Structure 1
Amino acid sequence: MEGYFDANKRIRTGLVTLALFIASPCFGEEHTFTLASPDKNIDVEIEVNQGVSYQIALDGKSILLPSNIDLQLESLPSLSDGIRLTDKKSHQVNEVLEPEVRVKSQKILDSYNQLSLSFSNNYTVTFRAFNNGIAYRFETDINQDIVVIDELAEFNFPAPSTTYFPKEEGFYSHNERSYLKEKVSDIKATDLASTPTLIDTEAGKLLITETALENYAGLWLIGSEKGLKGTFAHYPTQKAVGETPWQDRNEPITHRAKYIAKSSGKRTYPWRVLAIAKQDKDLLTNQLTYQLAIPSKLADTSWIKPGKVAWDWFNANNLHGVDFEAGLNTATYKHYIDFAAEYGLEYVILDEGWYPLGDLMGTVAGFDVPELIRYGKEKGVGIILWASWLTLRDQFDEAMDRFQQLGAVGIKPDFFQRDDQEMVQFYWKIAKEAAERELLVDFHGSYKPAGLRRTYPNVISREGVKGLEWNKWSYDSTPEHNTTLPFIRQVAGPMDYTPGVMSNAIGPAAFENINYSGKDSNHQDFTIRFMRPMSQTTRVHQMAMFTVFESPLQMMADTPSQYRKNSECAAFIAKVPTVWDETIPLEGSIGDFVMVARKHQSTWHVGAMTDENARTLPLDLSFLEEGKWKMVIFEDGPNAKHWAEDYRSKTLEVTNETKLYISLAPGGGYTARLSKM
């Protein structure tokens, strides 16, 4: 047992187990059990009566109404089939976890109360109550393979409640959605959402997601009579191979089985996570998806290096001021490597185009990948290779061996668009085989983080977010969207939003909030441009993303030419860490504004972003240690509301008694680095 805790960097500070076995005849048909969070602010009431239901109160006010749960297996009785309660066990844990990759903090307090209920059909249902949420999962102990036909997961809410609903068209999706604010009562059974999904009740905020997702299908949501209900992509049986465009990456499902999953009957199932917050900003430090995930399977993680990436695809390799023709060629990527080395960036990605599509073993004329990897090593810059998931699947063993033989440090598989059981298991296969070859993994075109990053810490980031690239073809990446993500999508885990564009403009939503005489209500500065993309935010809003948005593998999305042209901003961005020892949420309102302070070693960073509305926020520096601090600040310039690239930099001497007020332009931002003097 000690080896278990050492291998997973768990520091045990307190552990109490209370086991109580009561033979089934001693149990009546109805039982009510209560479970409280360690701080007693969250109460869970679990009722066993021809099935299992639970409800949650926050500070004595209902935040979740009685909601039924069940697991339906083929040809076997479920909880609602007259089964008996046979055992009850209580468990209390108070530990400190030390994650291998420090996304939010160096240490995580893992403190909870647990109740496990076992039944005569060899099911166990386990509930855990934390100070910032509750979770439950099923376990089966059945001596045969099982088929999961369905899982009942109700989430019923008191009225009035609203939801930030990431509405989807179907299960075949990149899960890159906007969060639509709707009344829960207006969500129909035909409305489908991916998770995480947030619900705002009068008692507080409740976010639904999952973790420890292995050998199972991912959790989605639909409307129900009293709230929302879980639904799942069934196992795929027929695929549209050869019938769709982009044959190297798209494999739509044309028929699915009547079951969710097949597996061994002796197993645990994913945790259903309900993160709970009294204030919006409390969501920013919730780490339940990590705490409940399967512990690391890697004995050595010393080779896993977070860092920044010079990224090519967003900016379409639009270098200028160089003496060669930019494009998918060796000279262009040597230029990216030189830029990365100059600015202290750890990585360069070779995105789509480094291999002939459909053949990961092939080569492209004028693109010398071995030479680029050799050159990168000489400069201290690692190379990460993009790959279509479908080509990777079809050439898996030889492709993975080639990545290792080339000397790549990581891979970026893309375009998965599914989270049924088959695809979930392919994620696990990639993570495991990549770890054996000491390769980082950055999943794109992916479902949300669901625990794999803890089990295999080389899964260092993933997409599953409507990010900066959407500015290339839509108006969706608005400041409001950006200030929503930290409170919802980021609670599930790191998000590879790919920030940092230096071409900035006022988007249509922000422009409507700018008042000056002679305004043309149809005017805007932002333009959709695929080859020379821009943002719908101010320059400093983009800079602040590097502190506000969490991704241990953080992209710098613009070109080396643009960053050198804006070297003061680029140099600041390049020094922002990608992992953190401590995170302190300072201010926050979902979809309105966010401000966070983060510490890395001895340096603090502050990042703030606002939606389309200009606003002034207080900045209290009492989180600093004693002494004098040098504060390097980037803030929106006085004309940023008309010219989004306008910014102002300055340096102050401050202490932990300093109190500031920061002004944010429409779609604006603020960022600062604080170093001990």
Structure 2
Amino acid sequence: MKQFLFTALAWLAFFSPAQSQKLQSPNGKFVMEFVLLNDGTPSYSLNYKNKAVVKPSKLGLELKDDKKSLLNDFTVVDTKTTTFDENWKPVWGEVASIRNHYNELAVTLNQKETERQIVIRFRLFDDGLGFRYEFPSQKNLTYFVIKEERTQFAMTGDHTAFWIPGDYDTQEYDYTTSKLSEIRGLAEKAKTANVSQTSFSTTGVQTSLMLKTADGLYINLHEAALIDYSCMHLNLDDKTMVFESWLTPDAKGDKGYMQAPHHSPWRTIIVSDDAREILASKITLNLNDPSKIDDTSWIKPVKYVGVWWEMITGKSSWAYTDEFPTVQLGVTDFSKAKPNGKHGANNANVKKYIDFASKHGFDGVLVEGWNEGWEDWFGHSKDYVFDFVTPYPDFDVKGLHEYAKSKGVKMIMHHETSGSVRNYERHLDKAYQFMKDNGYDAVKSGYVGSIIENGGNHYNQFMNNHYQYAIEKAADYKIMVNAHEAVRPTGIARTYPNLIGNEAARGTEYQSFGGSKPNHVTVLPFTRLVGGPMDYTPGIFEMDLSKMNKDNNSHVNSTLANQLALYVTMYSPLQMAADTPENYDRFLDAFQFIKDVAIDWSDSKYLEAEPGQYVTVARKAKGTNNWFVGNVNGDAPRTSTIKFDFLEKGKKYEATIYADAKDAHYKTNPQAYTISKITVTNKSKLAQLSAPGGGYAISIIEIKK
């Protein structure tokens, strides 16, 4: 108490009340205060329901090769407050309509010595705060280089954090749960090997960062609208519990090349005393611009299968032959090579997946390893690694397209860049036109390995501009994009809804690389999914991967019922049934849920939520009166209790429940499940067991009179 009083008095002594501005959220639960300190340093604080969420925190940017940074010596020359309220309809999403309602404060600051101006714009919503830096056109601030952004987030205590290590090149880590004060000691243990990784600090973490206070407040720190700027990480001073922004540098260490007029991404703080409201927040989307694609009729949610998991597990390979020690495109003659017998992208195998997709009503088939170059694609700093148009001898592009078309199935293209983005951009128009000529409307792109141009990182300004360029170029060709190994999403899919998927986190593939924690999928909705949907590739039914490949001893740390629930809890308009047809054929009764579950929704209700422990979601299929429920559980067994009060009054529904059996366990008995049917109404309740690493899935279909 004495420490808090001292801090408050020190704060009061350090600013002039005339330089203070308050902003209240529309519902009055949030109060943000902007304060200019006596040395002209801008700062802010945030309260929720009269509780401090962010203590007074400094704002500003440090510039390179400049005698005066944009940190202090400011005066307030103008303040403007506005209110905004609209409802907008996403092209696809968790709900049919989104309300964008906020109060705004724009503070114009003038730096006395340099006569340079910046604007700090705050938007306070009913579920949190967004703010950004703006650099108006002016003669004294034209071109400048950011050395570091100095945005602070001063925490009120030693909160519990759900975090992954700060890294310029990968987000593919399991989450660690710890106190903030414990991050330093756990930093090395929290890292797992990746083909490209660059950590920067023993207290550095990535956004979206989920926190929980001792008195039950949930706090999420992230960013929105990451355009022409470096990705933000957070570095913790674990003595003061203050996070400071830490941008991703280029190879020279520079963190942003700016030309006014310009602005930063939004920094976001989502807060609630109910974890479900964190999941339901639409701040990230609302802080992005409306769609820049006028005609969005060609953008369709996709449920697909593919030649992928058999490669990930080692049952088959991307490469066509083992004969060549190196490959040079246009020189190496694959028509004379001896096939290795393991190449997955062959005509017969692809037709098997097309037949399976057609039989079970899937929209598309993804095929990886179809194009020349996979024999030595990785780890050589190779520029001309793929041309994205030349297939292997056993992959008939036109013939397979016609076969798929005759079955009512679309083919999904795969573009792996191997980190050679210059090569990809060089071929992009030709590759996209090749896709359109051969009936491909969607592409999965990849950026595995180190970025070879100038030794850059995956998340710096240059690379973020590349990812954006690829999305916008794809829109010109009416192509949907699912980017893997790219920067984590920040709501840009509102502006470019052809971005229908991202990986940008530790996905299902890691279940084949040693496994992920069983509670991993109870954390992702609070972290990675805050920025946008994830192509998590769920639906694995065979957990013992030695049955796929005798040399693979990995185990999928999930029950079968948990895998079904992911189609509801891990929102995405792009959902893969990732296992092989053979494994689905063994469990056709459970596979029925994957066939039935929708991928586009008119409404979503978060019924239960606690980060790292459990998530239960109900979603209404767009254009129907049918609902689907998913529950995923963490390490400990639990009884989930839910109400069906989201159902329409006076209606009856048949609920098919796919649940863990009593003896189910993610490690020892993952394929133990039960299927039952009951009639429910909006007055019904359910108490359902969820096993360790387990869960349940429910399809709720209206009974027509």
TM-score (norm 1): 0.85
Q: Equivalent residue of 1:438, what SS? A: coil
Equivalent position of 2:25 in the other structure: 37
Q: Is the 8 A contact 1:295 1:455 kept in 2?
A: yes
State the match for 2:381 in structure 1: none
User: What residue number does 2:595 align with?
Assistant: 574
Corresponding residue of 1:669: 695
Query: In the alignment, what sits opposite 1:129?
Result: 124
Structure 1 residue 533 displacement after superposition: 6.3
Give SS of 2:151's match: strand
SS at match of 1:207: strand
1:486 aligned partner? 525
What secondary structure sits across from 2:270 in the alignment? strand
The aligned residue for residue 307 of structure 2 is: 312
Q: Secondary structure at the match of 1:569?
A: helix
Q: 2:158 aligns with which of 152, 155, 160?
A: 160
Q: Deviations over 1:287-307 (max 9, x none)?
A: 211110122110111000102
Q: In the alignment, what sits opposite 1:346?
A: 363
The answer on 1:195 being equivalent to 2:190 is no
What code does the residue aligned with 1:584 have?
K
Q: Is the 8 Å Cα contact of residues 314 and 533 (structure 1) preserved in structure 2? A: no
1:86 correspondence with 2:77: yes
Structure 1 residues 41-80: aligned runs within 5 Å: 41-49=29-37, 50-74=40-64, 75=66, 77-80=68-71
Could you say what secondary structure the match of 2:520 adopts?
helix
SS at match of 1:167: coil
State the distance in 2 between where 1:613 and 1:650 align: 23
The CA deviation string for residues 145-203 of structure 1, in whole angstroms up to 9 with x for no partner, is 332232111111112322212114x4122x11222122223445533222111122235
Write the distance in 2 (CA, Å) between the matches of 1:347 and 1:129. Answer: 41
- C-alpha distance in 2 between matches for 1:208 and 1:532: 37
Please, which of 91, 105, 108 is the counterpart of residue 100 of structure 1? 91
Q: Do structure 1's residue 444 and structure 2's residue 498 form an aligned pair? A: no
Alignment deviations for residues 330-351 of structure 1 (CA, whole Å, 9 cap, x no partner):
1111111111111111111112
1:379 and 1:137 map into 2 onto residues whose CA distance is 50
SS at match of 2:307: coil
Q: 2:659 aligns with which of 611, 635, 639?
A: 635
Check if 1:212 corresponds to 2:225. Answer: yes
Counterpart residue type for residue 641 of structure 2: P
For 1:527 and 1:400, how far apart are their aligned partners in 2?
34
Give the conservation status (yes or no) of the 8 Å contact 2:310–2:548.
Answer: no
Match of 2:464 among 424, 444, 454: 424
TM-score (norm 2): 0.82
**1:180 aligned partner, one-letter code:** T
Task: Tell me how far apart the structure 1 counterparts of residues 660 and 257 of structure 2 sit (CA, whole Å).
Answer: 55
Query: How many Å apart are 1:78 and its aligned residue?
Result: 4.4
The Cα shift of 1:35 comes to 1.0
Partners in 2 of 1:29 and 1:638 — Cα distance? 63
Mind listing any 5+ residue stretches in structure 2 that lack a counterpart? 1-14, 111-115, 185-200, 317-340, 375-384, 449-456
Q: CA deviation at 1:77?
A: 4.8
Higher strand share: 1
Distance 1:668 1:528, change over 3 A: farther
Which of 406, 429, 439 is equivalent to 1:397? 429
> How many angstroms apart in 1 are the aligned matches of 2:552 and 2:356?
21
Q: Which whole-Å deviations, capped at 9, do the CAs of 1:48-79 have from their partners, x for residues lacking one?
A: 12111111111111111111111234538544
Partner of 2:191: none
Structure 1 residue 585 displacement after superposition: 0.7
CA distance in 1, matches of 2:633, 2:551: 25
Alignment CA distance shift 1:136-1:529 (3 Å): farther
Q: Which residue is 1:116 aligned to? A: 106
2: CA distance, partners of 1:167 / 1:528: 32
Q: Give the whole-Å Cα distance in 2 for the aligned partners of 1:530 and 1:128.
A: 54
Stretch moving more, 277-286 or 143-152? 143-152
Secondary structure at the counterpart of residue 261 of structure 2: strand
Q: Judge conservation of contact 1:503–1:533 (CA < 8 Å) in 2.
A: no
Q: 1:381 aligns with which of 396, 403, 409?
A: 409
Is the 8 Å Cα contact of residues 318 and 532 (structure 1) preserved in structure 2?
no
Q: Secondary structure at the match of 2:593?
A: helix
Could you tell me how far apart the structure 2 residues matched to 1:277 and 1:354 are?
48
Query: Identity across aligned pairs (percent)?
Result: 28
* AA matched with 2:446: D
The superposition leaves residues 623-674 of structure 1 with CA deviations (integer Å, 9 ceiling, x where unpaired) of 1102111111111123323422111111111111111211112221111111
Q: Does 1:367 align with 2:395?
A: yes
Alpha carbons of 1:280 and 1:529: their partners in 2 closer, same or farther (altered >3 Å)? farther
Closer, same or farther in 2 for the Cα pair 1:298/1:136, shift >3 Å?
A: same
The aligned amino acid for 1:223 is L
User: In the alignment, is residue 551 of structure 1 matched against residue 539 of structure 2?
Assistant: no
**Structure 1 range deviating more: 135-144 or 526-535:** 526-535
Match of 2:628 among 589, 605, 627: 605
Letter of the 1:55 counterpart: S
Contact conserved, 1:620 with 1:659, CA < 8 A, in 2?
yes
Q: Deviations over 1:15-49 (max 9, x none)?
A: xxxxxxxxxxxx97951111111111111111112
CA contact (8 A) 2:514 2:554 kept: no
**Partner amino acid, structure 1, of 2:25:** S
Aligned partners of 2:165 and 2:687: how far apart in 1? 37
Distance in 2, Cα, partners of 1:273 & 1:548: 23
Matched to 2:244, the amino acid is K
In structure 2, do the counterparts of structure 1 residues 326 and 395 end up closer, same or farther at CA, with 3 Å as the change threshold? closer
Check if 1:646 corresponds to 2:672.
yes
SS in 2 for 1:574: helix
Which residue matches 2:451?
none
2-side partners of 1:309 and 1:633: how far apart? 23
Alignment CA distance shift 1:325-1:167 (3 Å): closer
Contact 2:644–2:681 under 8 Å retained in 1? yes
Q: Is the 8 A contact 2:303 2:577 kept in 1?
A: yes
C-alpha change, 1:80 and 1:217, in structure 2 (3 Å) is: closer
For residues 444-483 of structure 1, give each alpha carbon's deviation from its aligned partner in whole angstroms, at most 9, with x where no partner exists: 01221113211211000100111111111113x2221121
Range with bigger deviation, 661-670 or 420-429: 661-670
Aligned residue number for residue 245 of structure 1 = none
Give the whole-Å Cα distance in 2 for the aligned partners of 1:231 and 1:578. 36
Say whether the 8 Å CA contact 1:472–1:528 is kept in structure 2: no
Q: 2:370 touches 2:391 (CA, 8 Å); kept in 1?
A: no
Q: Hey, what does 1:181 align to over in structure 2?
A: 177
CA contact (8 A) 1:147 1:261 kept: yes
Aligned-partner SS, 2:268: strand
Partners of 1:315 and 1:531 within 8 A in 2: no
How far apart are the structure 2 equivalents of 1:187 and 1:47?
30
The SS at the match of 2:392 is: coil
Cα separation, partners in 2 of 1:276 and 1:363, compared to 1, 3 Å: same
Is the alpha carbon distance of 1:28 and 1:158 closer, same or farther for their aligned partners in structure 2, counting shifts above 3 Å?
closer
Amino acid across the alignment from 2:593: F
Give 1:268 deviation, angstroms.
2.2
Question: Would you say the 8 A contact 1:502–1:534 is kept in 2?
Answer: no
Which range moves more in the overlay, 85-94 or 179-188? 179-188
Alpha-carbon distance in 2 for matches of 1:448, 1:393: 20
Contact 1:349 / 1:384 at 8 angstroms: preserved in 2?
yes
Residue of structure 2 equivalent to 1:282? 277
- The one of 684, 688, 691 equivalent to 1:658 is 684
Cα distance between partner residues in 1 of 2:56 and 2:551: 49
Q: Structure 2: how far apart are the matches of 1:78 and 1:392?
A: 37
The answer for the alignment partner of 1:410 in structure 2 is: 442
